[in-house]
Structure 1
Amino acid sequence: MLIKNLTLNNFRNYKKSSFQFDNTNVIIGKNTIGKTNILEGISFLSTGKSFKAEKDVDAIKIDEEFAKVSAKIIDGSDIINLEAIIANNTNRFSKKLLVNGLPKKQSDFISKLLTVIFTPQDIEIITDSPSLRRNYISNILLQANKTYRNSLSVYEKALKQRNRLLDDIKDGKRNYKADEFEYWNILLIENGAIITKERENLVNFINKSKKDIFDLTIAYDKSTITQERIDKYHNAEIASGLTLIGPQRDDFLILFLNPPLKRSLSRSSNELRQKVSLGGPNNPNLPNHLTSSWNGGVATTTTPSRWHRTIKEFGSRGEQRLTILQLKKLEIEFIKQATEKTPILLLDDIFSELDNKNIQKVLELINECQTITTTTHKEFIPKSLLPHLHLIELK
């Protein structure tokens, strides 16, 4: 799979600009000139949404009413023309996604262009809230698995309707009636089970795959939704006005597979001084179902040993970067296996973030995929890449 060209109309800081791409591409330009906006445009055609903006409307150029992103994709012997048009006329937002001129639902548009994006901000997948880890896992599956896309779409619509009912009851606008919830409950249970299964499959793929960059494992802290659990949480949901169980509450703990012995011994010394165990079943950094089943297994993923630690809590900045790099490599492998296609690799200003050893690991990825990279200075580009590069200089 290759992207041959990209045109941005009223997108971010671009009035109208076109770009041609080769196998290995580097976009050079000073900060704020719009390098990342090019990657955002490509990613928009991959997922049907912005990876930067909280709302897609924010990608429209200031003082304009619409934005359009279009590209030509080569997929084997097929030529695919993709377009995304977002408009905000009189404060009414609309979005059109087209494949070869024909409008498509977002669930059918996704996967026409497969991408893996790596930015300095990706470290927040490890360090930030569970929602970022959920989104990361979900975005991989959205590209690679149509069953997941369809189930997630149905689930999110049903969840929205069910939460609206709960909120109305909480605010006294209606009384609770079981039959009003029955239809939405069935949709959530059926599609939630599919979502959980596909997330488990991805986590198992990551855990069983060879790690040649950084040893990590993921513990899937899943929130299943069944009729029994719906009944159990009934009063709490009425009081809060929200659905409190289901895949929207999942988390994915990213753990050291083999923590450094020195760090483990240091932690043990702290335990002796404080006369308390900082690891094991009583560790508040682990969710309840992990601590309660410390000796009996964790979901369908991995069983924490005494020295398992979250990379969020115990990893250095360098180890966290390596973790993301390893995850991105596994993401490429998963998408290739699931779709039998090679995704396009988008790298946003990462050469300035990595040392020479880790840059070599990135170069190995670049050799596997069409790659589009951004950087502020030509000096950041590894010399071994220069003879093979297509340079795009923004001024």
Structure 2
Amino acid sequence: KYLFSDYAIGNKFLLDTRKMRIKPMESSDLKQMKNWYPTMITRGCPFRCSFCTNNKDLRKMRSRSIGNVIAEIKEFLEIHPSTKRIFFRDDALTSMSMEFIEELSSELKEINLPFTCSGVMSSTPKFKEKLTLLRNAGFVGVKMGIQSGCERVRKKVHTRPESNKTIVWGASVLNSLKFDKINYYMITDNPYENEDELIESIRFTSRLPRPFSLSLFSLNFYPGTALYHRALQDGIIENKEETLQESTMVFKNTYLNKVFLLVRHLELPPKLVDYLTHKERYKNPKFQKIFDRLWRYLFRSSECHRGLEMPKLPSLRMLKQKRGFNEFRSHTFGLLNLRWLLWIIMSRYFSFYHRLFITPRVVKNALEEGRTDKKLLDRMI
């Protein structure tokens, strides 16, 4: 009924932005496709998150037939057989029925490629069974939206149904299935989340089983969503045009946002996060001064945004840029090397500690509780 996306090279042209001329498409123009091919099985979401565009545009959950999905993937692989991975951009794949997941998993095994998915939800029925099937079918990476570690904010502001207990259980399931990549979405800069609730969210994140990557976003009010209308009514949105220009990647330059970013980049132990988020401590001017100096030293910036670069040895980059030998030597063996060394020591130590002493205990307790807690058992039925 519908044609698949056409990624064939022949009879296609594009604009060369360097020379500002139209040129025939070449295979190198689709080099990203060698790494992964994006597609979707389902659209929409059964949740009614107040901040999400699905709340306005894609309220109805719908899916393509599994045969249609498999045919699309096979057609693409005939044109680009060197593709390494298939990425499903679905928002809520695990909300589909168990029968659907069983059939999908069976069919995907024939593709014989690794798969990743952007939307799994721990509160969906038979979550563990579905994820086990998908893992056995070749899924190596999943993403799950949490948005806030504070239950009040999640339920009263974001209108999401999960409890913290359900989320920790879901994260423990993902950890126990040994996915190569696990990613969680969290939101900050929420005017409906007070300081204590943001601290609760940061501390909750630090207690989730490692390893995982964290996608941290600054809250944007998307026009038409329930949260957008609420912010308009409450006078939080004063200029609609300026609101549209705000970026989810740039955060308010606050102490707590910086701590949240540290939790994103380093597997900080919960006790250290508790120490850093102790109000009386971080409101002390001397403590803040020391923290700000360390932040500037590590990131070479006083700002707070997603694009901060981690300390690293610049040797190869500087060689490519053909810098002078003296500058190359000073950067490689000078203070910047110590900065990189400090980062590596902290990163390795924190990871070792969290994965050896924190994660196993969290996973064990959550999975055991999942076998006895009636509310969690209901999620599995």
User: Does TM, scored on the shorter chain, surpass 0.5?
Assistant: no
Higher share of residues assigned helix: 2
Higher share of residues assigned strand: 1
